[in-house]
Chain A
């Protein structure tokens, strides 16, 4: 009986050919070709020429040499830099927290599991898409015409843009969590708001806080760029120092920003770790 033979002594069965192998190879090759063509087009479209970089390295070297050593004059550079960095941080903070009520409302309306009606869902999604699609820098330029140059315009711009992004992220977080507790409360006779307050929201708190911290991190960096268009903060100082050829002051400001970004990143990582535990 062949079944009594040890596995090694049994006659080897020939390995069957994988089915449709040629087709798969063809599809892979076509995919690679398509990616190569797209990159060729993109290189043309962006005038990507490494040769220019090699030829012009002297300009860069002069620029960097001008920036060293950083200007550490307390009265002239360091103090205003730190103060402006604090403003940047405040813009990012208010832009994040003040958008929470709007983002929460729109997220509830724009999540399949919590929306009261399909029409409301579509409208809420459209509003979120609009706020997300318009860049914060465009919002800043619009608000500058209303409230003038300064950090306030930056805060308003961040509130608008962040509402769109965080609302969408929160809506998706609510759609992804286990809907069981919500169903349990529905069968117990709880109304829609009660289900939301006692099942859905307490279930997503960790995800919500994580996303909020992530957005705070992004918004602090965005408020830097907003400074470039006149919304105050360290971005404005960096812009000014470049325009007046004070590259050593610019470097100081960039170093301060680097420290700020690392601090914010560490803080949000710390809070998220505590929350997960």
Chain B
């Protein structure tokens, strides 16, 4: 099957008269890690937020596994969105709760409300699955530690496990390593690369570090002022392309 898991076409969005996205097209296939690069304000995060449904695009189509989200009935839209999970720069876990409880929260959409008022009531099957998700990110031994006691890299690992527990096959990461030290950043990127390849997930990660993208991503997408600057396999990405993103004035002058 060659249908891309995530397909974005002609995405446009403006905030208060300023056009942030002017037609963004890209695809993410299952089993690949795609890095989204771009300077501040180029529209990387807005793109992810539109795909997640946190922001409403003005135009364009978003399809998950070939199914266009626009015009879907509410119920089916929820099911389709359920297949996409988001990883945040600020991690957004509950520090006072254990890693296991935080991972279980990824499954809330499948748990009846009456059983989700406290982690004590979470179904055993969900807790079992959450433990397996922690295992997959290599943190099963920290399951009963409070998240606040874990290192930044481990916390982001727990957040990835939460996305797995949501049973998402499209994972969108918004600057997942910007708040981490270089070593932890390396580990988290290796984890995302691993998950994409081992478990056939489609992973798109907004990154501010081109070197991390070159080392871990299969493909790199460059955004410049809300338009696509390039979409290349990492092996073919060179300094010239990066310069168009981060020093457009210099490229124009040259």
Q: How far is the CB of A72 from chain B (nearest CB, A)?
A: 48
Residue of B nearest to A189 (CB): B109
Q: How far is the CB of A110 from chain B (nearest CB, A)?
A: 21
Which chain B residues border A203 with CB–CB below 8 Å? 94, 96
Given contacts A188-B105, A189-B78, is CB(A181)–CB(B118) below 8 Å?
no
**Are A187 and B105 in contact (CB-based, < 8 A)?**
no
**Are B85 and A188 in contact (CB-based, < 8 A)?**
yes
Which chain B residues border A185 with CB–CB below 8 Å? 105, 108
Given contacts A189-B108, A199-B105, A203-B96, is CB(A183)–CB(B116) below 8 Å?
no
Q: Is A198 an interface residue (CB 8 A)?
A: yes
Which chain A residues border B117 with CB–CB below 8 Å? 193, 197
Which chain B residues border A197 with CB–CB below 8 Å? 116-118
**Are A199 and B94 in contact (CB-based, < 8 A)?**
yes
1/0 contact string of A166-191 vs chain B (CB within 8 Å): 00000000000010110111011111
**Are B92 and A183 in contact (CB-based, < 8 A)?**
yes
Q: Is A266 an interface residue (CB 8 A)?
A: no
**Are B86 and A202 in contact (CB-based, < 8 A)?**
no
**Are A190 and B105 in contact (CB-based, < 8 A)?**
yes
Q: Is A194 an interface residue (CB 8 A)?
A: yes
1/0 contact string of B63-96 vs chain A (CB within 8 Å): 0000000000000001001100110101111101
Which chain A residues border B106 with CB–CB below 8 Å? 188
Which chain B residues border A30 with CB–CB below 8 Å? none
Distance of A198 Cα from B103 Cα, bound (Å) = 11
Q: Is B162 an interface residue (CB 8 A)?
A: yes
Residue of B nearest to A198 (CB): B105
1/0 contact string of B104-128 vs chain A (CB within 8 Å): 0110110101001111000000000
Taking beta carbons and an 8 Å cutoff, which residues of B are in contact with A? 52-54, 78, 81-82, 85-86, 88, 90-94, 96-97, 105-106, 108-109, 111, 113, 116-119, 159, 162, 166
Question: Could you jot down 12 A-B contacts, CB within 8 Å?
Answer: A181-B92, A183-B92, A184-B93, A188-B105, A188-B109, A188-B162, A189-B81, A190-B108, A194-B108, A198-B94, A198-B116, A202-B94
